[in-house]
Structure 1
């Protein structure tokens, strides 16, 4: 049982053994397992300690140095909010003047950890006993944090000013886990979140980035967040947590720091008011958060750029425009999308490494790459192709990534 993976560590001997382990290495795990058993440690304790050591190593990407003092479950780690993003959630509450928060569906406690570190009074609620045990350990340094093992819907919220939710968006069966896309199928459902907001509490909820705009309540601010190009969430904020004049926003976090693009109006695909123009000069691939937030047309206007096709999220401008919201490429050549002609082009230019991007076409980049490079002689040169369409025409754009 999953409980056996955690319970052996919740003793003085178990915690000491876990703390004594050095950095985890897959190549050394079998030898270390044998050595610890020969030293007299129980097999279940050794298995639990090595599992936690492995999970802690994986957790460094999300939690940094905090990971070395935390406990995890595999599912809890996969679903946990990155600590820097959890800090943004927590700041929403402190900025709004909220002092007590219930974290409903807290998982292993990433958001609760961030809130508690800002001295908020936190009630972390988790229905799974094993995960709740991990959260209890993870929040031990914070005396104002309490862990409750219960269903989110069953918790008494009297006296609590703010609520944060991270609904379960997967269902588990004998055949494995399945991702859910209907917000009403989440646990708890979006309608439960709306009822909490209707009560007047400061409410925030973490949703999957694929949530459709029509499912977003009219009373919510929606913020999509990407980290190094990966869209990690869509946060919905109600009442005191919603910013005046912001209905949807894209927060882009990367090597440049962070930047945000926002709009005061709901997304309406029929009224984007973006110009189209030639595929020439510089091509821009908007960040996924910008696309999810429906802010491509807004970005185009901000940059003085235009769409290459009104239905495709690629922008162009004659002169280079430096923006954190899109990756830029210099357009070298626009060719018809013809496999035979492209294969000849690859061979003639002695291309051995081919990066292919696409939007608006059904071609699989991996399969096309195989077709174009097979028999090409594997030359020393590298090239980048962008496959897209302009109206009814499919095109292959030869581009060069722009580096500042």
Structure 2
């Protein structure tokens, strides 16, 4: 087997931030590919409300909202004199080049300065808004789905659809209260520019939307489904797109916090053991969730019928001696009385890894095997262990490789040194 074979096994990782970057204290080093959402729709259709609902439900993710309105071009003195004749709903009213530049930097994990546009003076004013990279970037605006270059940056495209009379009523209220305009000017601008531009530029962009939300912010069901889809996509590691049998545990702030503690040189031995055990328990439970099962009906003490599940095959664990043994307690806590085999693999100079010792259940070929090795660097030991299991008649589809941290060889050696404290 070669190193790529390891990736063909079903695995349970739970840290997909590179070891050399924590992704939090230094925004410039943030290198996780963000999930970019575009939210379009007519004026006062409820786009901001939908965005805020999405943000409130993604409470465990870093989310930033970028408004297309921030990229309005500043009016010159001549244009200011006749501002009531200016079409703010036309694509040319926006500095799309600057918008693309800012979004591309955020997509690359770089902080950007977003203009601060004043709707009363029709100019960009200081200070601009510093926006750091995030897990989710929401771009909201009437024309964000109009330009193909902007659309191509998006992972999800949403169009908020609502009755035109409702939009007009909301626009009147917003422009008179928030932007200091009178009703007469609002209605004149709406009939001359807003409505024609909606029909010419905004409404046609609806066909590019992946999701259309009728009733805007009143549609709780649609927003809930969108959030669930986003969470699913965020939980998909880049490796999963290449190797479908890899499963990466969705990384929350709690999990990243525990990873921060086990990596910190100042962490005490007691805390290192405690938080390592918690992380390992999560990996083991996640791995068990990928075992095949069959449905089974049982009778409860009250006489009711309960439809449950049972595992299809018997299980056993196999730990790679030394670091792999740190995962045994978690496996025993989850699977009472489980058999656990041992494999000792040792480096042999330039000859790769050599099998020194093995003690496995005699019937291992008929079991599903949870292979335990928390730190993966070169993958040589894992390859040797998998090769041994295959030689014992264990089908590759019956092996689940459980791993806590995967990183470069040098970094893994440093982490192994830390693991020795346990």
Q: Settle same-fold status: TM greater than 0.5.
A: no
TM-score when normalising by structure 2: 0.25
TM-score when normalising by structure 1: 0.26
Mark the structure with the bigger radius of gyration: 2
